[in-house]
């Protein structure tokens, strides 16, 4: 059961992460935050929810999980003073992780634009642009590797090719051309498999019509690859 409470400015300045704030900053942040008392094992937020809030853990311990089909991957624990739910600062529309109370927790919840303006004194749009080209890529890696746990090579390789197409792809009449020339060994390292098994899977993809080879370049059909990435198929 979750219930709302008022946020005391002193509960914010007592945290190591926010103890440097001026008194007026703490008052403004507290006034614009919603406090939540969350009981152990209850959800603080769910995967797939809109990334529209920043969370500050005032007390207790929370845990972040990636729910991968029928498997839960424990990504890590959140301690008092930590600020989480940061996908809302990266311009992402939905949350990739689920957050649950590992013990009884008290959480302050605030809109991202108010949090950034109050704490940093800059517009959210400007910060999001900077984060996107700095920590955004590392965030993407965390999500990708969490998603890889428990998947077969077929799904891992499909997901990796889709990510490469988004970053290094140009539209082509046959699909999306990867401008990055990768060897089979490099693709194998990316998905954590042997070069031989990766080559065999690429051959399967080519026979199924989801990729075409042009020398060392690959042309993928994103729609078909997306279906493969979402369909469980154990190797």
- The CATH number that applies at residue 18 is 2.60.120.10
Domain annotation covers residue 235: no
State the total domains in the chain.
2
The whole-model pTM stands at 0.67
* Alpha helices, DSSP H, located in 60-152: 112-119, 124-132, 135-148
Predicted pLDDT of residue 5: 95
Same domain, 33 and 128: yes
Predicted pLDDT of residue 105: 96
Buried b (16+ CB within 10 A) or exposed e, 5-22: eebebebbbebeebeebe
Domain annotation covers residue 94: yes
pLDDT tens, per residue, the chain with 235 residues? 789 999 999 999 999 999 999 999 999 999 999 999 999 999 999 988 999 999 999 999 999 888 766 667 777 889 999 999 888 888 777 888 899 999 999 999 999 999 999 999 998 888 888 887 777 666 666 666 666 666 788 888 888 888 888 878 898 888 899 888 888 988 888 788 899 999 999 999 999 989 998 877 889 998 888 877 666 554 4
Q: Name the domain boundary from 106, 121, 141.
A: 141
Same domain, 193 and 96: no
Pairing of strands 217-220, 211-214: antiparallel
Q: Tokens in use for 131?
A: 């984060």
- Domain boundaries, position 70: 2-141
Q: Are 26 and 15 in contact (CB under 8 A)?
A: no
| DSSP three-state, residue 76 | strand
Domain annotation covers residue 146: no
Predicted pLDDT of residue 235: 44
Same domain, 159 and 137: no
């Amino acid at each position: 059961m979750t219930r709302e409470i008022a946020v005391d400015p002193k509960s914010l300045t007592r945290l190591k992460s926010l103890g440097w704030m001026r008194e007026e900053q703490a008052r403004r942040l507290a006034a614009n935050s919603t406090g939540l008392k969350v009981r152990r094992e209850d959800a603080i937020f769910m995967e797939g929810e809109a990334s529209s809030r920043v969370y500050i853990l005032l007390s207790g311990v929370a845990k972040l999980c990636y729910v991968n089909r029928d498997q839960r991957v424990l990504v890590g624990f959140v301690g008092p003073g930590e600020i989480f739910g940061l996908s809302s600062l990266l311009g992402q529309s939905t949350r990739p992780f689920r957050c649950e109370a590992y013990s009884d927790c008290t959480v302050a919840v605030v809109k991202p634009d108010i949090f950034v303006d109050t704490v940093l004194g800059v517009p959210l749009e400007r910060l999001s642009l900077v984060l996107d080209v700095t920590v955004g890529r590392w965030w993407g890696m965390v999500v990708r590797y969490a998603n890889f746990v428990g998947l077969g090579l077929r799904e891992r390789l499909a997901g990796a090719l889709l990510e490469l197409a988004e970053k290094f792809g140009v539209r082509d009449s046959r699909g999306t051309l990867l401008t990055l020339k990768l060897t089979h060994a490099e693709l194998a390292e990316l998905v954590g498999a042997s070069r031989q098994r990766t080559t065999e899977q690429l051959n399967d993809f080519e026979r199924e019509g989801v990729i075409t080879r042009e020398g060392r370049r690959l042309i993928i059909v994103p729609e078909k690859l997306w279906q493969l990435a979402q369909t469980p198929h154990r190797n």
